[in-house]
Amino acid sequence: MSSLLPLEIKIESALFFKGGSMRVKELAQATTASDEEVREALKSLQMSLEGRGLRLILEKDEAALATAPETHEMIEIMRREELDGPLGKAGLETLAIIIFRGPLSRSDIEYVRGVNCSSILRSLMIRGLIERTDNPSDKRSFLYRPTTELPAYLGVSSLDAIPHYAELRENIEKVFAERETAAHETPEVTEENETHD
Per-residue pLDDT reduced to its tens digit, 5-15: 899 999 999 99
Q: Domain 2-69 is in which class?
A: mainly alpha
Q: Do domains 2-69 and 86-185 have the same CATH topology?
A: yes
Q: Are 131 and 125 in contact (CB under 8 A)?
A: yes
Q: Where are the alpha helices (DSSP H) in the chain?
A: 7-18, 24-31, 35-48, 72-84, 88-101, 106-113, 118-126, 150-154, 165-185
Q: Are 33 and 7 in contact (CB under 8 A)?
A: yes
Per-residue pLDDT reduced to its tens digit, 92-120: 899 999 998 889 999 889 888 888 888 88
CA dihedral 126, 117, 48, 35 (to 10 degrees): 90
- CA-to-CA distance for 79 and 93, rounded, in angstroms? 21
Task: Looking at the structure, give the CATH architecture of the domain made up of residues 86-185.
Answer: Orthogonal Bundle (1.10)
- The 3-state DSSP class for residue 103 equals coil
pLDDT at 82: 67
- Judged by average pLDDT, the poorest of 106-110, 166-170, 176-180 is 176-180
Share of the chain above pLDDT 70, in %: 90
In the chain, where are the structural domains located? Answer: 2-69, 86-185
Per-residue pLDDT reduced to its tens digit, 30-75: 999 999 999 999 999 999 999 899 999 988 889 998 888 898 888 8
64 forms beta bridges with: 57
Q: Around 23, how many Cα atoms within 13 Å sit in the side-chain half-sphere?
A: 3
Based on its alpha-carbon atoms, the radius of gyration of the chain, rounded to whole angstroms, reads: 21
Report which of residues 184 and 51 the model is more confident about. Answer: 51
pLDDT at 3: 62
Residue 133 main-chain phi, psi, to 5 deg: -135, 160
